[in-house]
Amino acid sequence: MIKLKSKTQDALLFYVLRTISLVVIALLLGIIFVLIQAAWPAIKAGGLTFLFSKEWNPVEDRYGALPFIFGTLVTSLVALLIATPVSVLIALFITEYLPKSISRIVALLVEMVAAIPSIVFGLWGVFYLAPFVKKVLAPLLKTHLGFLPLFQGPSFGIGILTAALILSIMIVPTISSICRSIFELVPAHQKEASYALGSTKYEMIKLAILSPSVSGISSAVVLGLGRALGETMAVTMLIGNSPVISSSLFSPAATMASVMANEYADANTPLHISSLCYLALLLFLITFLSNLFARTIVKSFSKG
Amino acid sequence: MNYRIYRKFKNFMFLVLTLVSALAVLIPLFMIIQFVLVQGASSLSLDFFTQLPKPVGEVGGGMKHAILGTIYIVLLGAAIAIPIGVTCGIYLSEFSKSKLSKTLKMTVDLMSGIPSIVIGIFAYLVVVVPLKSFSAFAGAIALSIIMLPIIIKTSEEILKLVPNHIREAGLALGLPRWKVILFIILKGSVSNLLTGMILAISRAAGETAPLLFTAFGNMYLSYNMNEPMASLPVQIYTYAISPYKDWQRQAWAGAFVLMVLILTMNLFARFILTKIKDKKGI
């Protein structure tokens, strides 16, 4: 048996660890490379007009991504509009209002929402939320806010609004758990100083907790956005999957993720497959950039 | 005087708002759990675990193939992801100051943000296209990429909890560093590392999107890695969007089994992780 010096042994371990770490980094680069390669025919055929063309027609082999980009952005933004205030308030409720023993349980319950598989959300959405939107929510919105183009037209239950509602439930744990960890960083003397000036609890929260945490909250929101953009199954089951652009929130639509889930297995022509890969590449880039953005905010936040 | 009442009122309204928003999330959570419990339990029978699907029109049958398929694919994925993930975790906790470890940390963050459907397409392009067939192996690869960042992150955190004086004690005894890492740090954290793995497995077991065009799914029992294989989430999806009442009932039963499986694993792992952190006083 060869006897190595312990220094050599250490170097050996170091190189094994290093190599495997490099493999993981290479994997991420590999994902990018493979997607670009698969999307290349569609990039060559469509180029940038792919992004702005409204037509998605697999029968005539013509592809444009605009309806899906629209669907993805609208569902995610509506979901964020609902989820952001709710998540921030829940985080405050847990950290500031509840006694420690109960707050742990509530925090655990909120985190449990993140553990539910998205297919179960989809199933619940189809059999409970969609009928609820059709029978209760949509008529209510129509009678009170029907003058807005957002709430016009018939509601079939499934559509942008339903998908956005389920998305907002799904991203609350992401946003609120980050907000919670930010609020817990606020030093106690800062809160006490605010109380000492005679502020009520609400004023203390506004002055001592919320205003110094704005950048942290925004990074939490961006991370939530990244989660919403890429969510597939629940949205696929609830959005109606038709590539149309409509001003009404009741109308069906399709997202980048949902069209991939629906069409990828049955895609026949090479251009169709390639166009779907182009969409995958776009989705990857959008989530990649939003995560990168959130990370830089967090970094500057933790430094300051 | 009036202003004081106004401030108190605002204070109270804010409390009400936080309460309402907490309820806005907890009520759907309870509704989903209650819905799945009621609908799922009423559709559940012993046949569900022991029978294969019956053809359309015949009542009955079960999801034995999908339950076994999920276990098979997830374990195969875990077998790929765990060794790589723990190794990277060691690197991040023991050599955290190197430049590579900062790059790796960023890679892990970005990787955990990739939409699962994109990972599915990647696995399709890398495994299904060259082998010319949907396969359980492709599904396992896709799931392993989903598990990888979770395993790396949790193992890094867990190994960092080992206090430095233990490392120094080992080195002071004249042990080479690799022995300290392998026989002291790693060996002492095995049970804690396992909880991280359970967390990753519970996440992967519920994934549908990456399996849609990798493992694909079928209607019979198969143990062949190179063939399409059914999985619980994909089977639930197929049944849920079908027009047959009996299949929809089966989807509920499947959702029930999947939820129980995942929530048990998840709660168990979380419970242990918080206990570990409490003990170390963090």
Amino acid sitting at position B90: I
Report which of A172, A290, A167, A170 is spatially closest to residue A235, judged by C-alpha positions: A167
The domain ranges of chain B are: 2-43, 49-280
Backbone angles phi, psi at A62, to 5 degrees: -120, 130
Region B154-179: mean pLDDT is 90
- Check A28 against B111: CB less than 8 A apart: yes
Interface test with A, best of B117, B124, B271 (most A CBs within 10 A): B117
A32 CB within 8 Å of a chain B CB: no
Mean pLDDT for all residues in chain B: 89
All structural domains of chain A, each given as residue ranges with its CATH number in brackets, are: 67-303 (1.10.3720.10)
Give residue A61's region: left, alpha or beta (phi > 0; psi -120 to 50).
Answer: left
Residue with token string 């629940």: A234
How many residues are recorded in chain A? 304
Alpha helices in A95-213 (DSSP H): 100-115, 118-124, 130-132, 138-145, 160-185, 188-196, 201-204
The answer, yes or no, to whether residue B142 has pLDDT greater than 90, is yes
Give CA–CA dist B33/B42, Å, rounded: 14
Q: How far is A75 from chain B (nearest CA, A)?
A: 16
* SS3 call for B173: coil
Question: Contact at 8 Å (CB) between A274 and A47?
Answer: no
Token pair in block for residue B27: 């009520």
Please state, in angstroms and rounded to a whole number, the distance separating the CA atoms of residues B134 and A61: 25
pLDDT in tens, B212-240: 888 888 888 878 888 889 899 999 999 88
Query: CB–CB of A264 and B7 under 8 A?
Result: no
How many residues does this entry show for chain B?
282
**Interface contact A119-B181, CB threshold 8 A:** no
Whole-number pLDDT of residue B258:
93
Instruction: Give, for all 304 residues of chain A, the pLDDT tens digit.
Output: 456 677 888 888 889 999 999 999 999 999 999 999 999 999 998 888 888 888 888 888 888 899 999 999 999 999 999 999 999 999 999 999 999 889 989 999 998 899 999 999 999 999 999 999 989 888 888 888 888 888 887 888 889 999 999 999 999 999 999 999 999 989 999 999 999 998 999 999 999 999 989 988 999 999 999 999 999 999 999 998 888 888 888 889 999 999 999 888 888 888 999 999 999 999 999 999 998 888 887 777 665 4
Contact assignment for A108 to B21 by CB distance below 8 Å: no
CA Rg, chain A, in Å?
24
CATH topology of domain B49-280: MetI-like fold (1.10.3720)
d(CA A246, nearest CA chain B) in Å:
25
